[in-house]
Amino acid sequence: GQNIDQPTEMTATEGAIVQINCTYQTSGFNGLFWYQQHAGEAPTFLSYNVLDGLEEKGRFSSFLSRSKGYSYLLLKELQMKDSASYLCAVNTGFQKLVFGTGTRLLVSP
Amino acid sequence: DAGITQSPRHKVTETGTPVTLRCHQTENHRYMYWYRQDPGHGLRLIHYSYGVKDTDKGEVSDGYSVSRSKTEDFLLTLESATSSQTSVYFCAITPGRTSSYNEQFFGPGTRLTVL
């Protein structure tokens, strides 16, 4: 079976740091993706982890621990435009992605 | 935007009618996917294709069929639409060797309502 868990909703303040967690149990693992999705729009690619450790890309960082089946997305210096849903997805093989249900992040002034 | 378009962007139809959604890409990508997105379920894979006439089922394929007769077009058909197929449908592509990560790029989506 495939199971990917993320918190349903989080709130944070502009300028703060927020960490969105993702735990997974899947039949295969060929990497983990994070996507951002604004309401009414398509998901857009944020980050990719296939090896353990932290990948940093500007204000966004993503961490992976394969032994723990755990990842997080770290957003720094939050801006109002970061209000969106954040989707965790595991590549289970042959580019087949299994998605979590997403975390809705609300950034307030 | 990886040159992906979807048509129609919005459709309202009645239960029992056939519906075909089209995904069109302009950059000759080999891998294409159809997902549906529903509240509480996230994105779920319906069907995917690794090339012309090479398709396979995803997680939620019941009630759907696909065809890919040309590299650029991937069609999703609901033979007899049901209200449970009301959803937002996204097409996606993987650039393959032209990408560092093999991430998927998504089309703008089609909002389908079945009454």
Q: Dump pLDDT digits (tens) for B48-71.
A: 999 999 999 999 999 999 999 999
Handedness of CA B44, B46, B50, B52 (dihedral sign): negative
Interface test with A, best of B9, B29, B55, B103 (most A CBs within 10 A): B103
Residue pLDDT, tens place only, B9-33? 999 999 999 999 999 999 888 899 9
pLDDT in the model for residue A33: 95
Residues of chain A found within 8 Å of residue B104, distances taken between Cβ atoms:
33, 45, 95, 97
Q: Is the pLDDT of residue B99 over 80?
A: no
Burial label for A58, CB within 10 Å (0-12, 13-18, 19+), is exposed
Distance between A88 CA and the closest CA of chain B, angstroms: 10
The per-residue pLDDT for A95 is 79
Half-sphere exposure of A89 toward its Cβ, with a 13 Å CA cutoff?
29
Torsion angle, CA of A70/A76/A80/A84, rounded to 10 degrees? -10
pLDDT at position A29 is 93
Nearest CB partner across the interface for A43, out of B41, B102, B106? B106
Computed over its alpha carbons, how large is the radius of gyration of chain B? 13
Question: What is the pLDDT, as a whole number, of residue B3?
Answer: 86
- Which percentage of chain B shows pLDDT scores above 70? 93
Query: Would you say residue A93 has pLDDT above 90?
Result: no
CA distance, residue A6 to nearest chain B CA (Å): 11
pLDDT at position B1 over 60: no
For the segment A51-68, the average pLDDT, to the nearest whole number, is 96
pLDDT at B97: 62
Is the pLDDT assigned to residue B101 strictly greater than 80? no
Cβ atoms of B76 and B23 closer than 8 Å: yes
Report which residue type is found at B40: G
Q: Tell me what pLDDT residue A94 has.
A: 77
- Per-residue confidence (pLDDT) for residue B95, from 0 to 100: 80
* Chain B hits for A9, Cβ within 8 Å: none
Mutate to test the interface with B, among A97, A98, A103, A104 (most CBs of B within 10 A): A97
Q: What is the pLDDT of residues A7-53, one digit of tens each?
A: 999 999 999 999 999 999 998 999 999 999 999 999 999 999 999 99
Query: How far apart are the C-alpha atoms of B73 and B66, rounded to whole Å?
Result: 10
Distance CA B25, CA B101 (A): 19
Q: How confident is the model at residue B98 (pLDDT cuts 50, 70, 90)?
A: low
| Pairwise pLDDT comparison (A92 vs B97), residue with the higher score | A92
Contacts of B102 in chain A (CB under 8 A): 31, 91, 95
Cis peptide before A7 (omega within 30 of 0): no
Residue B107: pLDDT over 90: yes
User: How does residue A107 score in pLDDT terms, banded at 50, 70 and 90?
Assistant: very high
A74-77 — which CB contacts under 8 Å span 24+ positions? A74/A17, A74/A18, A74/A19, A74/A20, A75/A17, A75/A18, A75/A19, A75/A20, A75/A105, A76/A17, A77/A15, A77/A17
Q: Check B48 against A96: CB less than 8 A apart.
A: yes
Alpha-carbon distances, residue B106 vs B32, B38, B50, B62 (angstroms) = 10, 16, 16, 22
Between B94, B102, B106, which is nearest A42 by CB?
B106
**∠ Cα B9 B20 A89 (to 5°):** 65
